[in-house]
Amino acid sequence: MKRLLLLVVTLFAGWNILSAQSLPDRKETLKTLVKVNDYFMKKHADFTRPSYVRKFRPSNIWTRGVYYEGLMALHTIYPRSDYYDYAYGWADFHKWGLRGSNITRNADDHCCGQAYIELYKISPDPAKIKNIKASMDMLVNTPQVDDWTWIDAIQMGMPVLAQLGRLTGEQKYYDKMWQMYSCSRNEIGNGLFNQKEGLWWRDANFVPPYKEPNGKNCFWSRGNGWVYAALVRVLNEVPENDTHRMDYIKDFLSMSKALKACQRADGFWNVSLHDESNYGGKETSGTSLFIYGMAWGVRNGLLDKKEYMPVIVKAWNAIAKEAVHPDGFLGYVQGSGKEPKDSQPVTYKSVPDFEDYGVGCFLLAGTEVYKID
């Protein structure tokens, strides 16, 4: 009986500690971001070098594009010249071009365009956005709307259309963006967004009758993180009077509620959002994307601060304290894949096949956390 009482007291005390957490001060948050980024930049000093995972891939593929999204975000709060030089040199080496050239419809190839456009904003030069604009104009000028057949694509391609809409002031980019998003949401696989549960199936292969081992729907953490991040990046760009702005906000709020409900007690999220028995454990990339979205939502008044700050604090403290190695290496990052079982096991020391996107997600999260009042 005494042992049981001691266990209850211990658990209660642990819960109180978690619930009473606060964010580290901004200096500490920035120090962590710089450490993680500097580790990556030092290890990958040659930004021209192709990635090799089973085959060679140019360094402007989606994995590196996501990293540069994070780097450009970090640059907004800490504009070290070598950050800009590293991003500019990479883009210039690739001649501001896309894998698959301007005729690609693959959103993975468009992802690098997000960083190109951010670099253009710092120092406008039409050559920087010529290729990504040409490819997006192709999407606008052709009738297909079903290119984003997997939800990762929503993050890779959708924000580019939003960026160009704001940059040019042309409605056609916003219109095409909605058509393609709506197709993924409502039509592909009879709709990849489960409106009742507020989460997304990764692609048509995972809609019912496909189920997780526990019989529940399969909602992959990072896949949902991609959509959540995309909504943030789109809402940053679309005008307040945009026809579909409220549609994006409603989905963002629905996802926020669903994600809040399935956070782990330690602050992370499992790779399978509704089945902790299916490779459950700490995972950094999905967790980072959820922090990114929630922190942005609180800062912009879409999410209630009292309700969501405990979620953000617990999650950020978890990844900052438990995933970041002393040298800046980022642990608990699931490697590339499309579902919970891929690239397992995920551990503190495991090195993902591509290191770049996990760092990018972490930088996005930390930058938003840094901005919270």
Point out which residues pair with 203 in neighbouring strands. Answer: 150
- What is residue 3's predicted lDDT score, i.e. its pLDDT? 56
pLDDT given at position 168: 98
- Residue 312 CA to residue 130 CA, distance in Å, equals 38
Q: What is the pLDDT of residue 4?
A: 52
CA distance 17 to 367: 25
Q: What is the pLDDT of residue 21?
A: 87
Q: 41-54+65-79+146-371 adopts what CATH topology?
A: Glycosyltransferase (1.50.10)
Nearest to 143 by CA among 171, 176, 167, 111: 176
Tokens 């972490």 label which residue? Answer: 362
pLDDT for residue 319? 98
- Taking every pair of C-alpha atoms in the chain, what is the biggest distance, in angstroms? 74
Instruction: Please state the domain extents for the chain.
Output: 41-54+65-79+146-371
Ordered mean pLDDT values, 10 residues apiece, the chain (373 residues):
49 49 96 98 97 94 98 98 98 97 98 98 98 98 98 98 98 98 98 98 98 98 98 98 98 99 98 98 98 98 98 98 98 98 98 98 98 96
Q: At how many degrees (to 10) do helices 245-261 and 305-322 cross?
A: 60
* pLDDT at residue 214, rounded to an integer: 98
Angle in degrees, 0-180, between the axes of helices 62-77 and 26-43, rounded to the nearest 10: 140
